Amino acid sequence: MSLNTIWFILFIVIITGYLILDGFDMGVGILHLFAAKNDHERRINLNTIGPIWDGNEVWLVLGGGALFAAFPIVYASLFSGFYPAMMLVLMVLILRPVAIEFRSKQESERWRKVWDVTFFLSSLLLALLLGVALGNIIRGVPLDQQGHINIGNILTLLHPFALVMGLTTIAMMAMHGALYINLKTEGEIQARVRGFMPKLMAAFALTAVLTVIFMFIGSYQPVAVYAQIWPIIFPLAAIISFGLIPTFLKRGEEFKAFVASSAMIAFLMLSVAVGMFPNLLISTINEQYNLTITNAASQANTLIVMLIIALIGMPFVLMYTAGVYYFFRGKVVLEADSY
């Protein structure tokens, strides 16, 4: 296996880790105004992610760092071509933690309501923007021979497929977040979220099917690989994981239901990665302009040095993540220093 392929796999693993971990943070935010009906319940909802949300966002930083180190041309093309969209993502990434931290600093009902709405909107917009970005990457972008993406107006990114992908991402994150709230709470919040679950699962299933239909009708390049048989194991594994969620919920196995949702997200990302490989950015102008793991990669010595650093550093990130989740396991109980 080449260094380029190893770094492609590592990048996908990191981004998948981000979508699973920060994904339920987004879901908690999307459901914040609906799952919790009063100040006490909203504090509980915030504290489901209170000790861990900042650590979850580290995975996005790792993903950006991995892309910059291993595939700098792709990093440059994305950040220059999608600059306005990236600024919107940055804005909501800032607003989410600000809302979490500021919300309980004052007793004022109006103050707290403003930050509750901010937390909801920033989480919703982040999920939408990430879905739209993925939709554009799957469909392809106007990438020229020099590696420049000429999107023109930012509204051109909001084509039907990208919007459907954005809605799919919102539904998926909301479902994932609901499973996490179910795992971390009890009483009325938990009962309310369980009531939402069938609707959230139906919304995700519907939007996911629409996404697949769009991909096949548009004959997007990542679909071609599924003319073979073996890659189908990844979407099938995602479907099976999705199907296990209601089974575990009926049995009262909250943790297993959340793990099944996490596995579903992982297999969906693997499905996309297998379809994209070896491409990182697909050009709608000419497929010869595609940025791949070969023509967009750093020099071999850079990849080797960064791989050594990753092999040393990743275990610490994993241990930190596992440790935090272990120490803050169990149902949420409000304390004096809670949000």
Summarize pLDDT for 140-182 with one digit per residue, the tens. Answer: 988 888 888 887 777 788 889 999 999 999 999 999 999 999 9
> What one-character-per-residue DSSP string does 191-207 give?
HHHHHHHHHHHHHHHHH
Tokens of 200: 């959230």
- Per-position b or e across 226-258, b if 16+ CB within 10 A of its CB: beeeebeebbebbeebbebbeebbeeeebebbb
Q: Which amino acid is residue 263, in one-letter code? A: A
pLDDT over 90 (residue 213):
yes
Report domain extents, the chain: 3-327
Please say whether the beta carbons of 12 and 272 come within 8 A.
no
What is the C-alpha separation between 11 and 6, in angstroms, rounded? 9
Tell me what percent of the residues of the chain surpass a pLDDT of 70: 99
pLDDT at 114: 94
Binning pLDDT at 50, 70 and 90, where does residue 331 land? confident
Please say whether the beta carbons of 220 and 212 come within 8 A.
no
Q: Are strands 279-281 and 291-292 parallel, antiparallel or unpaired?
A: antiparallel
> What one-character-per-residue DSSP string does 107-158 give?
--HHHHHHHHHHHHHHHHHHHHHHHHHHHHHHH-B-B-TTS-B---SGGGG-
Architecture of domain 3-327: Up-down Bundle (1.20)
pLDDT at 54: 81
- State residue 268 phi and psi, 5-degree precision: -65, -40
- Residues 6 or more apart from 227 whose CB is under 8 A from it? none
Render pLDDT for 249-285 as a digit per residue (tens, 0 to 9): 999 999 999 999 999 999 999 999 999 999 999 998 8
What is the C-alpha separation between 147 and 162, in angstroms, rounded? 22
What mean pLDDT do residues 214-241 have?
Answer: 89
- Neighbouring-strand partners of residue 292: 279
Q: Which amino acid is residue 11, in one-letter code? A: F
What's the burial of 99, exposed, middle or buried (CB within 10 Å: 0-12/13-18/19+)?
buried
SS3 291: strand
pLDDT over 90 (residue 131):
yes
Tell me what percent of the residues of the chain surpass a pLDDT of 90: 63
Render pLDDT for 25-66 as a digit per residue (tens, 0 to 9): 999 999 999 998 888 889 999 989 988 888 888 888 889 999
* Residue where the block lists tokens 């990849």: 303
